[in-house]
Amino acid sequence: MEFAAKNGIVTLAQSRPLNDPNMKGGTNVWEVDVIVTQSGDALEWRTRLHGSNGMTAEDSGTQAGQLKDVHVDLSADALVSLPAKVPLCHIGRQSIEWHVDR
């Protein structure tokens, strides 16, 4: 299993089987958090991918702008086919995405 968070891209790969009903222990729940705070004239952001198996990957950065420059692309659970590239939000010109491979 590979997981990482870098440059606004949160990645989960080589995690097969994901949700295999015939394999005991084959299901993990993964959650991505995106946290943005205003700091002067900049937006400080942090992403965190964490799973029910205790694994965590984090990334952070700073982007010029105001909180009005944060645009949420996905605000609810989503069911996607694999592989998937899921846009989560935009922080100014910085795109935050979740990539899930097979």
Output the CA–CA distances (angstroms, integers) from residue 11 to 2, 51, 62, in the order listed. Answer: 8, 12, 20
> Structure tokens of 71?
């645009």
Alpha helical stretches, state H, the chain: none
Residues 102, 50: Cα–Cα separation, whole Å: 18
pTM: 0.77
What is the residue extent of each domain of the chain? 2-100
51 and 28 Cβ atoms separated by less than 8 Å:
yes
pLDDT in tens, the chain (102 residues): 777 888 888 888 776 555 566 666 556 677 889 999 999 999 999 999 888 778 888 999 999 999 999 999 988 887 777 788 989 999 988 999 988 876
Residues 8, 47: Cα–Cα separation, whole Å: 7
